[in-house]
Structure 1
Amino acid sequence: MIPTIRTVLAGSAVQAGKPEVLSGSSRLDRPVRWVHVSEVREVADLLEGDELLLSTGLAMRGTADEATDYVSALIGAGAAGLIVELGEHLPSIPPAVLELVRSQDFPLVALHRQARFVLITEEVHRGIVADRFDFVRFAQDVHETFTALSLDGVGVDELVRAGAEMAGSSFVLEDLNRRVVAFHAIGRPADGLLADWERRSRLCPRREGTGLAGLEGWLTTVVGTHGHEWGRLVVPNPMADQQRLGMLVERVAQAVELSRMIERDQQSVQLQAQSGFLSELLDGRLGDESTALTRARALGLAPGAAYVGAAVQADGASEAETVHRAQRRLGERVARALAASRQSAIAGVLGDDQVVLLLSVPPRSTEDDVLTAFAGALRADAGRDPVTIGVGTAEADLLASSRSLRTAQHVARVAHEALTPGPPWFRQADIRLHGLIAQLHDDPRVQAFVEAELDPLLAHEARHGGGLLDLLRQFLAAGGNKSLLARTSHRSRPALYAKLAQVEEILGVRLDDPSSQLSLGVAMLAHDHAR
């Protein structure tokens, strides 16, 4: 242990001088980085902090102002304390100095007998050097332990356990939402350690670097690379030497992040390999059924009674992240859901914002069983961006499942863009006309049809505004039922009928005509989808 003022005073060399603590008794546990003997007033400029000074008091001789200036400079330089040997040069501590040090709670110790300063410095420096050696040895043990664990590829739980056991204190790893990711309890039951964890954690604010924080005095350090922190490692009861403990928790945090990066890279390699297989399947380049099955099994796909395609669609990359990072994040989320639901599948990133899966349906299960388990696990991944799942039809042959994959891709994209979230997954029957419009909205003939149907109303909105286009959209969504529209839009019937009559006049059609509703509905779908 690094020496403190208290341990220095307890040493035989200081005890021989009959020490008396005159002030700063509450700060005697302050660490002593070095011991320095000095009799000059200008010594403060040579200090770096946490030094314990030994003096015969020559620097305090003179006026009261000179003595207090000397001690003030020591306090300002961050000295740990001052030991003064009383004697011929200084029979007693000047009253002004006593008043100053007591007001600042600065440790000042008087020696009433002559002491051998060389023995004091030798004794303290021997302890400091021994502590440094022990620290270096401990750091080496920590480095070797966690390097070996990282090379062995152990998981996060094992890394946290190893850190807690080396520290002799409980460790808790939490994510940014204050949820416990891993923990190891020492000296207390787990339910006591984790009781009301989220509330307690929120009372301990996040801080940069490593150090104590919060009402309970937790020792914390962030986990993750700079700018991409994803969690925090917490020692709720930091009983050990905080310098050693701080070094240890930082090393554990590094090992946890390295483990996560390795796992992520392994998932990335798997996704790349499986993406290539799915691309060949969609392009019809796998050869015969036997070859396709052999390759699929080599990639980890279990034999199934049937195979069903699925696609997970997410929003595109935000301005804050690259397309590659968004793809990787979506791929990791799908991989976690597959692992949690214990489903056998080949998954690949195809496109900037879509992960495609080929799921194996076990002989005693149905495709709905498989999809329900996977979709449930994916949606349980709380705190993530919303996604949409599109699925195709189950196929008995692996090669035929390419049709299921194409359908799933199309359904997921259309449903994500055009339909209201709700069901666990969408099929072709759910997108219906939306799917056709999604495929054809770029066709010039469809665009000409939209202009022919809606241009007068669009031009009116551009000139005058008034919300008539939104009203027409609501009218079509209500199936032309004016009473329903009046209730859902909270309009009076006379005002609503007047607005609808204005729409009819602008478009030159009758809105109660079924053919007009059909044409306008298709045009509105194509107009909205293009935007």
Structure 2
Amino acid sequence: MLPTVRELLDDQFAAADPQVLAGHGALDRTVRWVHSSEIYEISPLLSGGELLLTTGLGLAGVDAGTRRHYLREIAGRAVAGVVVELGRTFDAIPPDMVAEASRHSLPLVALRTVVPFIDLCRAANTEIVSREVRSLRLLNELAQDLVGELAAGSGLAQLLARIGAVTRCALIVTSGNGALIAAHGVDDDRSAWAAVESAAASAQIHARDNVWGTLTAGQGAAVDSATLAAIVDQSAPSLGLALANSGTPTGRPQVAAATLLADLLDAKLIRQADLKRRAGAAGGPGLAGRTLVPVAADAPDARIAARLIDTAAKELGTQALVAEVHATTFGILAMDKAIADPVGESVRVLRNAFAGNSTEGVTLVVGDPGEFTAAALTGSLEAARSALRLATRHRRDWLASSPISTCRELATELVVESLPATERTRLITTTIAPLIDWDTTHHSDLARTLEVYLRNGGSPTRSAAALHIGRQSLYQRLDRIRDLLGYDPSTPALAGTLLLALCAHRLATYT
């Protein structure tokens, strides 16, 4: 809540008839303190944020180069501005000083009416101190409110609402893998990611001595940037406590499972005998000799994700190794080798688990099946983690109709993400550029329409239902797409190329 240069000039300095000569675009800099000095070598004594008042006595009789050097050194200390009283040293500010201040975007102000500096400093610094006291009081009251919410067992949503009541800006919580976990003050995920991209302040959230994720504040806060940064820094630990309090159990099998899964995700070398021993200690003694299906889940509460995986394992009548690693819940389902489609069976039992549990805000990815070896598990877990990141950020509001996805469904995204940027650009340019140009100009959705159509096997009924439009409207869009492209996109030989290009465009749009 510190005042800006503009505010001080309009209020506390108004009687001195200030005239801004340079740095007009920087008048919204906050002022940390106001003081006066006539020392030429003042810059080493400045720490940034000061508004410096001077009569120019230290510049009396010096040449233009020396005056420029004086302002250049001050600008390098990140001061808020320089205010010069006219009539003692200068009848008018020399043009060389105005030019140098403009070059560094340094507010340079002339005071055309004499008002004692002590009066100006007293008035301005009293205002600064008063605002700092109000800011400290605000931070203290917010801290007490957050403690009260924690004591009441409140979760992320309630804590963000408390913080948002003070900041009045978007507040976004993302996990360590870049997934959107919770948001306040935005209407949809797209707006949430826009707030993250244009962040005004952010702070890491720690839970159980690990970096769990990030709290980000968007633009347009009701408080100044310094106070906003202080609020975000102060609030992040409370969010970490809420997350820690809602975490999964920490008994010995759970610790063993978390350690094993973390080592597998880090691709550490594990001998087969050690893998079997550690899996047994983690609660999965029967994994060997079975088909293993990895699961990666993103949820506001790790217990929700763990419960879903455990419920699915119980329906299968088999075991699951489940733990939270770096704010993501991972699981390994053990299945009978006689099951023809272990991925499809995993999706089926997980959907049944979703039907019987609270699953709001959960995104889950089923990975590719593999054998009971460290190398195979590392590869499948890593692929599931990458797919989860894509599912949470690029597909949740776009194509997916279910919170459950699979690596084989996301194979296109995974392949496109692995391509060099030049190859992605080439794919887009040589296949769907006319669609993108049309969508950009007319704010239409033809690229998405084509991708939905191709992903639904060219079925007008399924595609229209997925797009929430009538079949006739779909046909009109497809006709427009053919006209723009100059070829029939439903040609079977083009389906793979077009899906890759459309996916590359979508990922680039969301990145």
Give the shorter-chain TM-score range: 0.5 to 0.7
- Distance, in Å, in 2 between the alignment partners of 1:339 and 1:7 is 55
Once the two structures are superposed, residues 275-332 of structure 1 have per-residue CA deviations (whole angstroms, 9 ceiling, x without a partner) of 9xxxxxxxxxxxxxxxxxxxxxxxxxxxxxxxxxxxxx979745568979x9599999
- Distance, in Å, in 2 between the alignment partners of 1:63 and 1:315 is 66
Structure 2: 5+ residue stretches without partners: 271-277, 285-293, 324-329, 335-344, 355-361, 381-511
Tell whether the 8 Å contact from 1:161 to 1:183 is kept in structure 2 after alignment.
no
- Distance, in Å, in 1 between the alignment partners of 2:376 and 2:118 is 81
Alpha carbons of structure 1 residues 173 and 354: separation in structure 2 relative to 1, 3 Å: closer
Q: Which residue of 1 aligns with 2:249?
A: 267
TM-superposed CA distance for 1:93, in Å, is 1.8
- Distance, in Å, in 2 between the alignment partners of 1:314 and 1:40 is 63
Tell whether the 8 Å contact from 2:72 to 2:104 is kept in structure 1 after alignment.
no
Q: Which residue of 1 aligns with 2:349?
A: 373
Alpha carbons of structure 1 residues 224 and 136: separation in structure 2 relative to 1, 3 Å: same
TM-superposed CA distance for 1:15, in Å, is 2.3
Residue 238 of structure 2 aligns to a residue whose secondary structure is: helix
Q: Which residue of 1 aligns with 2:235?
A: 252
Q: Which residue of 1 aligns with 2:221?
A: 239
Residue 77 of structure 1 aligns to a residue whose secondary structure is: coil
Alpha carbons of structure 1 residues 417 and 30: separation in structure 2 relative to 1, 3 Å: closer
Alpha carbons of structure 1 residues 335 and 90: separation in structure 2 relative to 1, 3 Å: closer
Would you say 1:93 and 2:97 are equivalent positions? no
TM-superposed CA distance for 1:81, in Å, is 1.3
Tell whether the 8 Å contact from 1:20 to 1:109 is kept in structure 2 after alignment.
yes
Aligned counterparts, 1:100-111, within 5 A: 100-111=100-111
Q: Which residue of 2 aligns with 1:195?
A: 190
Residue 183 of structure 1 aligns to a residue whose secondary structure is: strand
Alpha carbons of structure 1 residues 267 and 374: separation in structure 2 relative to 1, 3 Å: farther
Q: Which residue of 1 aligns with 2:127?
A: 127
Alpha carbons of structure 1 residues 101 and 315: separation in structure 2 relative to 1, 3 Å: closer
Alpha carbons of structure 1 residues 178 and 8: separation in structure 2 relative to 1, 3 Å: same
Would you say 1:27 and 2:26 are equivalent positions? yes
Would you say 1:339 and 2:307 are equivalent positions? yes
Larger radius of gyration between Structure 1 and Structure 2: 1
Taking structure 1 as the reference length, the TM-score comes to: 0.51
Size of the alignment, in residue pairs? 327
Residue 42 of structure 1 aligns to a residue whose secondary structure is: coil
Alpha carbons of structure 1 residues 153 and 332: separation in structure 2 relative to 1, 3 Å: farther
Alpha carbons of structure 1 residues 384 and 124: separation in structure 2 relative to 1, 3 Å: farther
Opposite residue 6 of structure 1, the aligned amino acid is R
Tell whether the 8 Å contact from 1:59 to 1:67 is kept in structure 2 after alignment.
no
Aligned counterparts, 1:314-353, within 5 A: 317-319=264-266, 327=282, 336-337=304-305, 339-340=307-308, 343=311
Opposite residue 129 of structure 2, the aligned amino acid is V
- Distance, in Å, in 2 between the alignment partners of 1:6 and 1:315 is 53
Tell whether the 8 Å contact from 1:327 to 1:349 is kept in structure 2 after alignment.
no
Aligned counterparts, 1:53-452, within 5 A: 53-64=52-63, 65-176=65-176, 178-185=178-185, 190-191=187-188, 194-195=189-190, 200=194, 214=197, 216-224=198-206, 228-240=210-222, 241-264=224-247, 267-269=249-251, 317-319=264-266, 327=282, 336-337=304-305, 339-340=307-308, 343=311, 372-374=348-350, 382=364
TM-superposed CA distance for 1:172, in Å, is 2.4
Opposite residue 244 of structure 1, the aligned amino acid is T
TM-superposed CA distance for 1:178, in Å, is 4.5
Q: Which residue of 2 aligns with 1:50?
A: 49
Opposite residue 111 of structure 1, the aligned amino acid is L
- Distance, in Å, in 1 between the alignment partners of 2:208 and 2:92 is 55
Tell whether the 8 Å contact from 2:296 to 2:331 is kept in structure 1 after alignment.
no
TM-superposed CA distance for 1:146, in Å, is 1.6
TM-superposed CA distance for 1:133, in Å, is 1.0
Tell whether the 8 Å contact from 1:271 to 1:348 is kept in structure 2 after alignment.
no
Once the two structures are superposed, residues 3-54 of structure 1 have per-residue CA deviations (whole angstroms, 9 ceiling, x without a partner) of 2211221235x22222211111221111111111111211112111111111
Tell whether the 8 Å contact from 2:207 to 2:244 is kept in structure 1 after alignment.
no
Q: Which residue of 2 aligns with 1:430?
A: none
- Distance, in Å, in 2 between the alignment partners of 1:328 and 1:120 is 71
TM-superposed CA distance for 1:177, in Å, is 5.2
TM-superposed CA distance for 1:123, in Å, is 0.5
- Distance, in Å, in 2 between the alignment partners of 1:32 and 1:129 is 11
Residue 41 of structure 1 aligns to a residue whose secondary structure is: coil
Tell whether the 8 Å contact from 1:271 to 1:349 is kept in structure 2 after alignment.
no
Opposite residue 32 of structure 2, the aligned amino acid is R
Tell whether the 8 Å contact from 2:82 to 2:109 is kept in structure 1 after alignment.
yes
Identity %: 23
TM-superposed CA distance for 1:226, in Å, is 10
Tell whether the 8 Å contact from 2:155 to 2:242 is kept in structure 1 after alignment.
yes
TM-superposed CA distance for 1:233, in Å, is 2.4
Residue 125 of structure 2 aligns to a residue whose secondary structure is: helix
- Distance, in Å, in 2 between the alignment partners of 1:4 and 1:217 is 21
Taking structure 2 as the reference length, the TM-score comes to: 0.53
Once the two structures are superposed, residues 465-487 of structure 1 have per-residue CA deviations (whole angstroms, 9 ceiling, x without a partner) of xxxxxxxxxxxxxxxxxxxxxxx
Once the two structures are superposed, residues 374-396 of structure 1 have per-residue CA deviations (whole angstroms, 9 ceiling, x without a partner) of 48659x963577677xxxxxxxx
Once the two structures are superposed, residues 104-144 of structure 1 have per-residue CA deviations (whole angstroms, 9 ceiling, x without a partner) of 23211112221111110001110111122112111211221
Alpha carbons of structure 1 residues 112 and 149: separation in structure 2 relative to 1, 3 Å: same
Structure 1: 5+ residue stretches without partners: 205-213, 276-312, 358-368, 389-411, 422-531
Tell whether the 8 Å contact from 1:268 to 1:328 is kept in structure 2 after alignment.
no
Opposite residue 61 of structure 1, the aligned amino acid is A
Would you say 1:37 and 2:36 are equivalent positions? yes
Opposite residue 30 of structure 1, the aligned amino acid is R
